[in-house]
Structure 1
Amino acid sequence: MRIIGGKYRGRRLYSMPKRKDTRLLRPTTDRVKESVFSILDEYLEGTRFLDLFAGTGNVGIEAISRGVREVVFVESDKRFCELIKKNLKSLGISPDKYRIICDDFVKALKKLGRGSAKFDFIYADPPYEKGYYTKIVNLVKNLNLLDENGLLMLEEPKKNPFLPEGSRWIVERRHYGTTTLTFLNFSQPEAEDSNV
């Protein structure tokens, strides 16, 4: 894994050695990451970014490299939390640029909500098979974690996307191989027939 653009462009990140007891890590591919950040690039400077199900910290570190003010990493596996710290330290990233919450995503989002945290961008790459999408969207929306024009980005399996096409919250949906990337904004009034 490497940083694609910005201050740390070309720098490599540590990844978790393959072990039987390590959960299957499906890191965001360079193709998906490059697309996301080519879309967001001109809007990132000085913003707040939440990397949910952060894994190695790959996406959040890319955001730091491209000028965000602060990234909050949320990851439940302590081994990956340590790996995120290792990657941040190896790049010499100042601790005032990030926060790591090593906890279950529901608890972490509720904690952020209680603290009135607001983000310009939230990137969520949950395990596909867990079916967390409804819970993620409801928590982000109900806890008011996004700024008015903020975006929630969901990595989803192309064969089984969370929201149907035409949902009023979908700003854009892009497909990359077996991955679908859905951009959501909640500033639109909620439809009575919402599927969330």
Structure 2
Amino acid sequence: MKVVGGKYRGRPIKSMPKREDTKLLRPTTERVKESVFSILNNYLEGTKFLDLFAGTGSIGIEALSRGAEKVVFVESDRRFCNLIKENLKKLGIPREKYEVICDDYTRALKKLSKRGEVFDFIYADPPYERGYYTRVVNMVKNLGLLDRDGLLILEEPKKNPFIPEDEEWLVEKRSYGTTTVSFLNFNPEDE
């Protein structure tokens, strides 16, 4: 894996050895990453970005590479938390530009809400087979974690896509191979 664009473009990002991550990690493909960040690229400068279910941290690192001011990485597996920290350190990303929270996503989201954190972009790539999407969307919305103009970006399986409670939240949906990416905003312009 490598950083696709921005300041750290072409730099490698370490992943877990194949034998250890086959059931734990489904990395975002470079095609999906490049497509999503080509959409976000002009809007990332100076933003706050949450990488939820961060895995290796490649999405959040891409956001930092392309100008995000701060990224919070949330990952429950301590091995991946250590890997994220290793990748950030290897790239020389200043410590004030990121935070790694190694905890269950529900506790992490509640903690961020209690601190009054609000994000311009939240990228959620939960395990496909566990049906996290409705809970993630409801928590982000109800805890007020997304800026009024912000986007919640869900990476999901094309064969079983998430359908939001309110269709007006869906700004855009794009498919790349077996992956669908949904862009949601909880404050439609016509309100």
TM-score by length of 1: 0.93
What do the CA deviations read for 1:125-150 (whole angstroms, capped 9, x no partner)?
Answer: 00000100010000000000011000
What do the CA deviations read for 1:66-119 (whole angstroms, capped 9, x no partner)?
Answer: 010000000000000000000001000000000000000000000001111000
Would you say 1:115 and 2:115 are equivalent positions? yes
Q: Which residue of 1 aligns with 2:64?
A: 64
Would you say 1:27 and 2:27 are equivalent positions? yes
In the alignment, the residues of structure 1 paired with residue 106 and residue 32 of structure 2 have an alpha-carbon distance, to the nearest angstrom, of 25
- Stretches of structure 2 lacking an aligned partner (at least 5 in a row): none
Letter in 1 for 2:77: D
In the alignment, the residues of structure 2 paired with residue 107 and residue 42 of structure 1 have an alpha-carbon distance, to the nearest angstrom, of 32
In the alignment, the residues of structure 2 paired with residue 112 and residue 165 of structure 1 have an alpha-carbon distance, to the nearest angstrom, of 24
* SS in structure 2 at match of 1:141: helix
* SS in structure 1 at match of 2:163: coil
Query: Is 2:174–2:181's contact at 8 Å kept on the other side of the alignment?
Result: yes
Q: CA deviation at 1:17?
A: 1.1
Letter in 1 for 2:24: L
Q: Which residue of 2 aligns with 1:163?
A: 163
* SS in structure 2 at match of 1:24: coil
After TM superposition, where is structure 1 displaced by more than 4 Å over at least 4 residues in a row?
A: none
What number of residue pairs does the alignment pair up?
189
Q: Which residue of 1 aligns with 2:55?
A: 55
Letter in 2 for 1:169: W
Letter in 2 for 1:120: D
Q: Which residue of 2 aligns with 1:134?
A: 134
Q: CA deviation at 1:165?
A: 11
* SS in structure 2 at match of 1:168: helix
Q: Which residue of 1 aligns with 2:102?
A: 102
Q: CA deviation at 1:166?
A: 8.2
Q: CA deviation at 1:23?
A: 3.8
* SS in structure 2 at match of 1:9: coil
- Stretches of structure 1 lacking an aligned partner (at least 5 in a row): 190-196
Q: Which residue of 1 aligns with 2:11?
A: 11
Query: Is 2:49–2:60's contact at 8 Å kept on the other side of the alignment?
Result: yes
Q: Which residue of 2 aligns with 1:77?
A: 77
* SS in structure 2 at match of 1:56: coil
User: Comparing both structures, which one devotes a greater share of its residues to helix?
Assistant: 2
Give me the CA root mean square deviation: 1.6
Q: Which residue of 2 aligns with 1:193?
A: none
Q: CA deviation at 1:12?
A: 0.5
What do the CA deviations read for 1:21-66 (whole angstroms, capped 9, x no partner)?
Answer: 8743100000000011100001000000000000000000000000
Would you say 1:147 and 2:147 are equivalent positions? yes
In the alignment, the residues of structure 2 paired with residue 70 and residue 29 of structure 1 have an alpha-carbon distance, to the nearest angstrom, of 23
In the alignment, the residues of structure 1 paired with residue 118 and residue 164 of structure 2 have an alpha-carbon distance, to the nearest angstrom, of 27
